[in-house]
Amino acid sequence: MNIQNATIGLEVVRSKGDYVVGRVGNIIAIDTEKNRAQVSWGSWVSFTAIEPTSIPYQIIAPYWKDKYTFTNPKYVRL
């Protein structure tokens, strides 16, 4: 996502991070100096870590790779 696409009220999904990938919310504030948005889940997020929900996507759920390794959710554009 880039700064031109970001508007207050836009519904976005978290596309990068660890366990927070797939979190959906609305932009409630924009900080153009730091290239980030505050989302309704409460935190400020870089524009590079969110995507509009209007772009088709899939969240691949976390799973156990083996006895000791757990994967985080993954964001995939369709």
Which residue is it, tokens 């290239």? 35
> Which residues are within 8 A (CB) of 18 and not within 5 positions of it... i.e. 6 or more apart?
72
pTM of the model: 0.85
Predicted confidence (pLDDT) per residue in 28-65, tens digit: 999 999 999 999 998 999 999 999 999 999 999 888 87
Predicted confidence (pLDDT) per residue in 10-23, tens digit: 999 999 998 899 99
Give 14-77 as a DSSP string. Answer: E-SSSTTTT-EEEEEEEETTTTEEEETTS-EEEGGGEEETTS-EEEEPP-BSSSS-BPPPEEEE
How far apart CA 69 and CA 6 sit, in angstroms, is 36
pLDDT the model gives residue 67: 83
